[in-house]
């Protein structure tokens, strides 16, 4: 299968900080791919290298076979990137912004596609509005439209739904899934792990500049097939003897990792000895968020 994006032994250092430590993986054409990791893991640095905003100290990156350094013009035409930061020109309205973006790629008569993007992203009624007057969520939509204006076969979304409302998320994902079904390669970074779990076929996890996991979603979740015990306690305090099993605390519930269901009786006995009353109990298979926490905690340890 054709490789859409390839990173080969990519290293990058900013002063004393080693942001990338020889990252090496590929994204196949047509994939919906998740690039996950905690803050500072190196995700945005990788994306900046793809977009030509920074250069690797060693190693290489390519888009559909075109090196992002030696063949940057071709690589840049083949990729659309939605960055985390909201950047815009305050002197143009939405339609003018997209026309100028089209011009950067030599597209003179692009209004039909611009109209479609505006409609699909819920921006049609804002087409003549100045960028300064838009809400943060609307500006985010325009940034997505800018990345798509030249119809790139590879699309990278760096936290595209950060701080936006539910309506935009639903509109955006419906649009992006449609593009993916037509053959576009999608790479997504997000802190909303339920999005990655729902949308993506394959997942890479970065931690401190290194790749700690790379697999198909189903295989990754199968490998981490231990169960999670959700407990609501009175008093709302987890005994010290169980702290080593704690995965997360969410909405007043303690999530404990169970490698074997036989551990349940030991946990309940420990709670009884500590004088804790179980108000709610739920035994769950792990979701992507819990697997993510396990992977990144394990790497830190």
Burial of 301 (0-12, 13-18, 19+ CB in 10 A): exposed
| pLDDT of res. 187 | 96
> Band of the pLDDT at 228, cuts 50, 70, 90?
confident
Question: What mean pLDDT is predicted for residues 200-222?
Answer: 85
**pLDDT of 18 over the 80 cut:** yes
**Least confident among 69-78, 194-203, 269-278:** 194-203
CATH classification (class only), 3-221? alpha beta
> Band of the pLDDT at 145, cuts 50, 70, 90?
very high
Q: Does residue 80 contact residue 150 with C-beta atoms inside 8 Å?
A: yes
Q: What is the pLDDT of residues 153-166, one digit of tens each?
A: 999 999 887 767 78
Domain limits of the chain?
Answer: 3-221, 226-285
- Pick from 93, 150, 85, 77: nearest CA to 117: 150
- Pick from 8, 3, 57: nearest CA to 211: 8
Helix (H) or strand (E) holding 263: helix 263-273
Report the Cα 279 to chain-centroid distance in Å: 35
Question: What mean pLDDT is predicted for residues 119-137?
Answer: 91
Q: Does residue 221 contact residue 288 with C-beta atoms inside 8 Å?
A: yes
d(CA 102, CA 115): 13
Written as six digits, the tokens of 219 are 């295989």
**pLDDT of 126 over the 80 cut:** yes
d(CA 145, CA 58): 32
| pLDDT of res. 48 | 94
**pLDDT of 16 over the 60 cut:** yes
- Residue 277's DSSP bridge partners are 234
pTM of the predicted model, to two decimals?
0.75
| pLDDT of res. 73 | 93
| pLDDT of res. 223 | 64
| pLDDT of res. 133 | 94
Termini Cα distance of the chain: 37
| pLDDT of res. 300 | 42
Report the Cα 288 to chain-centroid distance in Å: 12
Average pLDDT taken over every residue of the chain? 88
| pLDDT of res. 297 | 67
**pLDDT of 55 over the 60 cut:** yes
Return phi, psi of residue 68, to 5°.
-75, -10
d(CA 291, CA 126): 41
| pLDDT of res. 150 | 95
| pLDDT of res. 215 | 86
Count of CB atoms situated within 10 Å of the CB of 143: 21
Written as six digits, the tokens of 153 are 């076969």
What share of the chain in percent tops pLDDT 90? Answer: 57
Higher pLDDT, 117 or 191: 117
Q: What is the CA radius of gyration of the chain?
A: 22
**Least confident among 20-34, 109-123, 144-158, 168-182:** 168-182
Q: What is the torsion angle, in degrees rounded to the nearest 10, for the CA atoms of residue 182, residue 185, residue 189 and residue 195?
A: 30
Written as six digits, the tokens of 86 are 């909201």
Question: What mean pLDDT is predicted for residues 108-135?
Answer: 92
DSSP readout, 216-240? EHHHHHHHT--EEEEEEEESS---G
- Pick from 158, 163, 127, 157: nearest CA to 142: 127
Q: Does residue 51 contact residue 87 with C-beta atoms inside 8 Å?
A: no
> Band of the pLDDT at 222, cuts 50, 70, 90?
low
Q: What is the pLDDT of residues 249-300, one digit of tens each?
A: 888 899 888 877 778 889 999 999 999 999 999 887 666 666 777 677 644 4
**pLDDT of 301 over the 50 cut:** no
DSSP state of 12: E
């Amino acid at each position: 299968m054709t490789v859409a994006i390839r990173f080969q032994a990519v290293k990058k250092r900013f002063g004393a900080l080693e942001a990338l430590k020889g990252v090496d993986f590929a994204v196949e054409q047509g994939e919906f791919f998740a690039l996950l990791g905690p803050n500072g893991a190196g995700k945005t640095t990788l994306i900046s290298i793809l977009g030509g905003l920074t250069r690797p100290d060693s190693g290489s990156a390519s888009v559909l076979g075109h090196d992002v350094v030696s063949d940057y013009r071709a690589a840049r035409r083949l990729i659309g990137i939605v960055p985390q930061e909201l950047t815009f020109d305050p002197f143009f309205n939405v339609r003018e912004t997209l026309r100028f973006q089209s011009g950067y790629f030599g597209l003179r008569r692009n209004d039909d596609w611009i109209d479609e993007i505006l409609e699909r992203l819920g921006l049609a009624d804002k087409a003549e509005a100045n960028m300064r007057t838009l809400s943060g969520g609307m500006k985010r939509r325009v940034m997505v439209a800018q990345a798509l204006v030249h119809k790139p076969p590879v699309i990278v979304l760096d936290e595209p739904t950060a701080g936006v409302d539910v309506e935009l998320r639903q509109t955006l994902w419906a649009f992006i899934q449609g593009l993916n079904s037509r053959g576009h390669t999608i790479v997504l970074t997000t802190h909303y792990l339920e999005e990655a779990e729902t949308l993506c076929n394959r997942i890479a996890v970065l931690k401190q500049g290194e790749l700690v996991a790379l697999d198909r979603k189903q295989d990754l979740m199968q490998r981490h097939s231990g169960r999670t015990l959700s407990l609501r306690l009175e008093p709302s305090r987890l005994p010290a003897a169980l702290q080593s099993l704690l995965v997360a605390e969410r909405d007043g519930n303690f999530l404990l990792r169970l490698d074997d269901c036989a551990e349940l009786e030991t946990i309940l006995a420990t709670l009884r000895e500590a004088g804790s009353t179980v108000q709610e109990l739920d035994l769950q298979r792990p979701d992507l968020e819990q697997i993510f926490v396990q992977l990144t905690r394990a790497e830190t340890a």
